[in-house]
Every structure is written in C-alpha cells, then in structure tokens.
C-alpha cells in the first residue's frame, strides 16, 4: 500500500486506512502523488515573483527544540519533520520514514528516506533517529504516553527497529508527534538549541522571537520536493479580529486559527478560501486530582446536566457545530451515539443530595464554603468560558474566569495547575484509537490532565491497545467511552471544526488533507 499517495474520504475509509497501514507502507516521498490536481495547477499557474507567505496565528512556538511542549507548530511550518505525518482525516503518510512493517506483534521496522541531512550537514541515519527518539523519551513530557518503554535498535544505516513493551497494532501512528533532530548539536549547544535547533525541514529559521515571531527561508539542501516558497513569516495574532484585519488589509496571507465570527466574514469575501478539517470534540476538563469537590461524582454529573449544549452550538459556535456524544465526534464508527441532555432540575437535585445548598445570592455553599471553580481559558475559548459561567450560575455554581496566553496553557495543563479548563486537547478522528484513549483516560498518564482513574477503563485500554482486529477495536472503544461518559471526568460539549484556516486565494498548492500545514508545493500566484 502506498501510504503517501492515498487520500482517505469518509469514516469507513479511515478505518481501512489504519488497518492496512499496520501491515506495511511502500516507498514514497512525502508529497509525491498526494495532490495531483493541485500539482498540475501549480505547474500551469503564473507564480508571483516574491514567494513569501505571511501568516498570523495564536499558537506561536516558544522553542525550536522539538522536545519542548510549545514547539508543536514547527512541524506544521515545514521546519521540523517526524517519521510519519498526520493527515487531517486521521490517517498518516510517509515522511522521514520511507516505509515500515510489523515484523512481530511487538516489533516494527522503519526504512528511512535515503540521503537526508540535517541543516548542519550531519546525516540523518538510523543512529541519529534512535538518538532523537530516545531524547524525546527523556525530555518530552508527551512521550511517556506514546513511546514510553520502546526500545530502538539500529539494524543498519537506513533501517531502525522499534520494540514495544507489548503488541501495539497502531504504534506507527504514535511517531507523528516526535520530530527528528540532531542530538549531537543539542548536547553541544545546550539551551541555545531552543533557538538554534538542527533539523531537517525545507524551511530553516533565520529569525526567531519565542512566542512572537518566526521567519524562515527555503533550505537549498532539502532532501525532498523542493519548496516553491522562498520565505515564511509567522507572527503572533492573539486577537481574532486583528488576524482578520491583517488578511483584509493584505498584511498577511493566512490566518491559521479561524474563529467562528471571523469564519462568517472570510466565507463572504471572494478573496479568501477557508479550510476546515474533520471536526473534534470540544470539552470542559475537570481536575479531580486537584479539586476535592470534583471527586464527588454527583458534582460532576450536575455540571454536565446543567450545560445547555444547544445554546453553545447556536450562540457561541454560530451553528458551526453539532452535539457531542462521547470522546470521539459523533458519526465515526468507533464513536458512541448517546449524548447528555440538559436537565437542570436533576442537576439541582444532585447538588442538594451532595449537601450543597443555595445561599441568599443563589450560590451554593457547604460548611461555609462556596461551590466555586476557576475555568482556565484563552482567547479562542473565552466566549465559551463566559457562556459556561452563565449556565452554571443558574444551578448555583460560581465560576471565575482565569484567562491566560494560549501557549502558556500547555504547561499549566501538564502541571495540573487548573481547576476546570476549556483546553483544546480534544477527541478527533484517528487511526490509533487505543493510543488516543490511553493518553486521555489511562491512570497516571501526563496528558490525563484531570487525574481520572478507573481500573476497568485501564483494563479495557490495555486490551484495545493490543487488539489487531478492527471490529473488536471499535467495540472495545465504545464500551470504554460508555463507562467514561457515565463517570464524567470530562464534560463533552459539542463537535466542531474550530481550528480551520483562511488563505488569500493567491496562496495555491494547499494540501487538502493537511490544510493548516505549510507544504513544499505551496506558492503565491499573481
């Protein structure tokens, strides 16, 4: 199967994709054949003289070191590269890995693209990839839930074997989040590696201000398809309206974080094209580990029942959303169908039973303490947080907003420094069902931000993560989600496609299955 040349459409195709990908992936460069129609158009269109793409985003990297939690965007910018790249539809395509195969249930072998070099000129061979992944294991806080316990074995210069602690049919999917970097340079430079990383991407930074500005130029020695863009300029745009104005005024070519109000404006303007990938589940995180009140299931159930999802969909999301069911967006073959209906009478009864009684101001108290929670939020989610504040006050729960800068929320969530949070770590389509559920709900995992723990759920995740049969995977996933839905460690709100992108129509060569990523085929037309 040519993983790098197939586009998957529809949920059934996604399932077929992740089943077939566990067997093998044939040789391919990362962009060969993925968008033939776009490539032909690019060849025939007249390109602008200055190939400079300028975009604004609220998710600027704070480091160029791929092990850093706030370095995710560098992969989307063509600066850092993983072994496999995640598509918008949840499938994967070859990137630095040319192909892969499952030799034994717990042993995988990856064949690397030949003649790849880091910017410094050092070879990206199997030994270098092994060193990079092992450094991720040590320093990347997301690594334990994805590649923790994996042994990396150099077979020869272009072949790296990976021995997992137990059989994992979808292990290859887990590699998409770990960019390969030159560990020798990281060791030599120390903290300077945060701004002087040695990577393999087709765009190399020439100016970097952490969290604010990133300017990169095409790297002439790039191993793959030569980039058509000469320069990339990315700037922080924390305010959605300011990002819209930047595009309207011609100061930027793309907005990588389109919000609902601005989506309407972009779609009405013929100068722009908007792209919205498959939806995800927007949720409210509950920190049971930190907040004693949230350890009472009756409180969590009451909060869940008090939320008016229709109001959130019609108001906050302007109708660009649908009701959530469980972890995964409704309609996926491994999603559950049942959803929570608003029932404020039942919510109030549960709070009464838990001993929280309304005071003169309408806020519930118990032993002189108010039933009050802080919601950690940031710009794109602040309207949602405000709406939740109003809805929960209706059943006697006081909510205090705790707005922070977008990238700062990443570390706060990992540190457990929140009570509740409108944080975008949301369920979406995936080829690694077990891996995604593991990262959210397995006991003790860093990205299980609220500290949820249920032995029955852990047991089901263990079974799911080792199951090679797709039908059984989906059944286990549904069982697991049903239990989680009843436990309410997270409040599922709605399914939407919040993280879309808007481009000036002069921007061509956009990969329709990686719509917010910069790819070598992108260019500016006249």
Residue with tokens 């974080």: 257
Contact at 8 Å (CB) between 457 and 199? Answer: no
Residue with tokens 């034994």: 104
- Whether residues 346 and 488 share a domain: the answer is yes
pTM of the complete model beyond 0.75 = no
Give the pLDDT confidence of 125-151 residue by residue, as tens digits: 999 999 999 999 999 988 988 899 999
Domain assignment present for residue 72? The answer is: yes
| Residue 233, number of CB atoms within 10 A of its CB | 16
Domain with 488 in it: what CATH number?
A: 3.10.105.10
Q: Which SS3 state, helix, strand or coil, does residue 163 take?
A: strand
Cβ neighbors of 509 (< 8 A, separation 6 or more) are 35, 38, 39, 41, 42, 228, 519, 521, 522, 523
Considering only 15-19, 58-62, 211-215, 317-321, which range has the smallest mean pLDDT?
A: 15-19
Residue with tokens 């109003």: 390
Residue-by-residue DSSP string for 400-412: EEEE--TTHHHHH
Q: Give the pairing of strands 372-377 and 398-403.
A: parallel
| Strand (E) or helix (H) holding 492 | strand 490-496
| Total count of domains within the chain | 2
Contact at 8 Å (CB) between 8 and 89? Answer: yes
Domain assignment present for residue 19? The answer is: no
- Whether residues 253 and 392 share a domain: the answer is no
Residue 372's pLDDT band, with cuts at 50, 70 and 90, is very high
Residue 298 is encoded by which pair of tokens? 């009756």
Task: Sort 91 into a burial class: Cβ within 10 Å, 0-12 / 13-18 / 19+.
Answer: buried
Is the predicted pLDDT of residue 35 greater than 60, yes or no?
no
Residue 460's pLDDT band, with cuts at 50, 70 and 90, is very high
Domain with 71 in it: what CATH number?
A: 3.40.190.10
- Whether residues 134 and 171 share a domain: the answer is yes
- Whether residues 123 and 186 share a domain: the answer is yes
pLDDT score recorded for residue 498: 61
Residue 37 is encoded by which pair of tokens? 């129609």
Domain assignment present for residue 14? The answer is: no
- Whether residues 332 and 298 share a domain: the answer is yes
Contact at 8 Å (CB) between 476 and 464? Answer: yes
**Sign of the dihedral through C-alpha 16, 18, 20, 21:** positive
Residue-by-residue DSSP string for 41-73: HHHHSPBPSS-EEEEEES---S-SSTTSTT-TH
Give the pLDDT confidence of 88-135 residue by residue, as tens digits: 888 899 999 999 999 999 999 999 999 999 999 999 999 999 999 999
Secondary structure letter of residue 513 according to DSSP: T
Q: How far apart are CA 406 and CA 413, in angstroms?
A: 11
Q: How far apart are CA 209 and CA 222, in angstroms?
A: 24
- Whether residues 70 and 126 share a domain: the answer is yes
- Whether residues 88 and 237 share a domain: the answer is yes
- Whether residues 196 and 282 share a domain: the answer is no
- Whether residues 333 and 362 share a domain: the answer is yes
**Beta-bridge mates of residue 217:** 204, 231
Residue 30's pLDDT band, with cuts at 50, 70 and 90, is low
Q: How far apart are CA 438 and CA 110, in angstroms?
A: 24
Domain assignment present for residue 402? The answer is: yes
- Whether residues 267 and 338 share a domain: the answer is no
Residue 33 is encoded by which pair of tokens? 């054949």
pLDDT score recorded for residue 5: 30
Residue with tokens 């491994």: 334
Give the domain extent around 115: 52-275+500-524
Domain assignment present for residue 367? The answer is: yes
- Whether residues 327 and 211 share a domain: the answer is no
Residue with tokens 């059943």: 395
Query: For 6, what's the count of Cα atoms within 13 Å in the CB-facing half-sphere?
Result: 19
Q: In what order do the strands lie in the sheet with 369-370?
A: 357-358, 364-366, 369-370
- Whether residues 374 and 270 share a domain: the answer is no
Q: How far apart are CA 17 and CA 472, in angstroms?
A: 16
Give the pLDDT confidence of 215-237 residue by residue, as tens digits: 999 999 999 999 999 999 999 99
Contact at 8 Å (CB) between 497 and 278? Answer: yes
Q: What are phi and psi of 392, to 5 degrees?
A: -75, -30
Residue 264's pLDDT band, with cuts at 50, 70 and 90, is confident
**Beta-bridge mates of residue 282:** 494
Residue with tokens 């880091």: 118
- What mean pLDDT is predicted for residues 437-445? 94
Cβ neighbors of 354 (< 8 A, separation 6 or more) are 296, 298, 299, 302, 366
Residue-by-residue DSSP string for 396-445: T-EEEEEE--TTHHHHHHHTT--SEE--S---B--S-HHHHHHHHHSTT-
Nearest alpha-carbon partner for 434 in 502, 347, 334, 357 = 334
Q: What angle do CA 426, 429, 432 make, to 5 degrees?
A: 100
Q: How far apart are CA 388 and CA 491, in angstroms?
A: 11
Domain assignment present for residue 441? The answer is: yes
Domain assignment present for residue 30? The answer is: no
* Number of alpha helices (DSSP H) and beta strands (DSSP E) in the chain: 16, 25
């Amino acid at each position: 199967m040519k993983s790098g040349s197939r586009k998957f459409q529809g949920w059934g195709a996604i399932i077929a994709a992740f089943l077939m990908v566990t067997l093998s992936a044939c040789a391919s460069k990362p962009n060969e054949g993925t968008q033939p129609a776009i490539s032909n158009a690019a060849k025939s269109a007249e390109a602008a003289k200055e190939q400079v793409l300028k975009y604004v985003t609220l998710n600027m990297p704070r480091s160029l070191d791929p092990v850093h939690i706030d370095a995710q965007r560098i992969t989307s910018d063509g600066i850092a590269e993983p072994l496999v790249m995640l598509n918008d539809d949840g499938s994967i395509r070859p990137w630095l890995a040319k192909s892969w195969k499952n030799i034994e249930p717990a042993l995988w072998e990856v064949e690397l693209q030949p003649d790849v070099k880091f910017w410094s000129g050092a070879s990206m061979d199997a030994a270098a990839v092994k060193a990079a992944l092992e450094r991720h294991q040590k320093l990347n806080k997301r690594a334990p839930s994805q590649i923790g316990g994996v042994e990396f074995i150099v077979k020869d210069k272009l072949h790296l074997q990976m021995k997992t602690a137990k059989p994992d049919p979808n292990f290859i999917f887990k590699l998409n989040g770990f960019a390969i970097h030159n560990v020798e340079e990281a060791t030599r430079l120390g903290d300077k590696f945060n701004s002087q990383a040695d990577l393999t991407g087709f765009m190399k930074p020439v100016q970097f201000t952490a969290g604010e500005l990133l300017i990169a130029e095409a790297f002439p020695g790039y191993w793959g398809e030569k980039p058509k863009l000469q320069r990339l300029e990315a700037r922080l745009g924390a305010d959605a309206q300011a990002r819209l104005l930047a595009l309207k005024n011609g100061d930027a070519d793309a907005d990588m974080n389109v919000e609902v109000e601005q989506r309407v404006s972009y779609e009405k303007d013929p100068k722009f094209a908007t792209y919205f990938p498959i939806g995800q589940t927007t949720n409210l995180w509950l920190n049971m580990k930190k907040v004693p009140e949230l350890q009472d299931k009756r409180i969590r159930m009451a909060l869940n029942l008090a939320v008016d999802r229709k109001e959130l969909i019609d108001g906050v999301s302007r109708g660009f959303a649908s009701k959530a069911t469980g972890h995964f967006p409704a309609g996926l073959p491994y999603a559950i169908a049942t959803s929570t209906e608003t029932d404020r009478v039942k919510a109030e009864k549960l709070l009464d039973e838990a001993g929280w009684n309304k005071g003169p101001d309408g806020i519930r108290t118990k032993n002189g303490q108010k039933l009050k929670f802080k919601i950690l939020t940031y710009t794109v989610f602040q309207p949602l947080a405000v709406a939740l504040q109003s809805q929960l006050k209706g059943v006697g729960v006081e909510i205090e907003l705790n707005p922070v800068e977008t990238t700062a929320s990443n570390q706060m969530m990992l540190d457990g420094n929140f009570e509740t949070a409108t944080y975008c770590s949301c369920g979406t389509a995936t080829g690694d069902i077990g891996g995604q559920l593991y990262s959210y709900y397995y006991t003790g995992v860093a990205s299980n931000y609220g500290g949820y723990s249920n032995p029955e759920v852990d047991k089901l995740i263990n079974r799911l993560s080792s199951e090679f049969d797709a039908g059984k995977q989906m059944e286990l996933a549904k069982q697991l989600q049903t239990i989680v839905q009843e436990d309410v460690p997270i409040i599922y709100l709605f399914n939407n496609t919040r993280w879309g992108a808007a481009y000036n129509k002069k921007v061509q060569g956009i990969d329709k299955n990686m719509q917010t990523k910069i790819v070598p085929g992108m260019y500016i037309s006249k």
